[in-house]
Amino acid sequence: MKLVIDASIAVKWVVEEPGTSEALALRGRAELIAPELLVAECANILWKKTQRKELTPDEARLAARLLHAAELDLAPTRALLERATLLAIDLDHPAYDCMYLALALANNCAFVTADDRLLRKLAQTNGPLRDKAVSLTDAART
């Protein structure tokens, strides 16, 4: 089984927060993929956590190293650009989140996220988008 994950999942592998055990449970149970964008998003999340004093700079550095070594296939984003743009327009949602959704559609697999805002927005749609995104809680149960 193949799953697309986003930065909200990957960061939970290296920073203890709600959903960490569920995120860790996904590893080894599926082939995990993400657009290369995940790297920049994870770096930004780690930076924000240092700004809020949730992590020290040394902890953020270690988390970045662990993420670098994680078993995760990264896909180029160029091929996702058009579809992600159209999804962002249709959903009225940021395009960077839609990159993950575009990758899931391109690979005909589920997209796992802890982003409740995006999950709520997709739940209001009809058609294939509604079923593509899965909450972290639901993905960990299967």
pLDDT digits (tens, 9 = 90+) for 71-118: 999 999 999 999 999 999 999 999 999 999 999 999 999 999 999 999
| Cβ atoms of residues 31 and 73 within 8 Å | yes
Scored b (16 or more CB within 10 A) or e, 114-135 reads bbeebbebbeeeeeebeebbbb
In the prediction, which pLDDT does 130 show?
Answer: 80
In the prediction, which pLDDT does 75 show?
Answer: 97
**Confidence at 24, pLDDT banded by 50, 70, 90:** very high
Residue 34 pLDDT exceeds 80:
yes
Domains of the chain: residue spans and CATH: 2-141 (3.40.50.1010)
- Look at 6-20, 41-55, 64-78, 114-128 and tell me which has the smallest mean pLDDT: 114-128
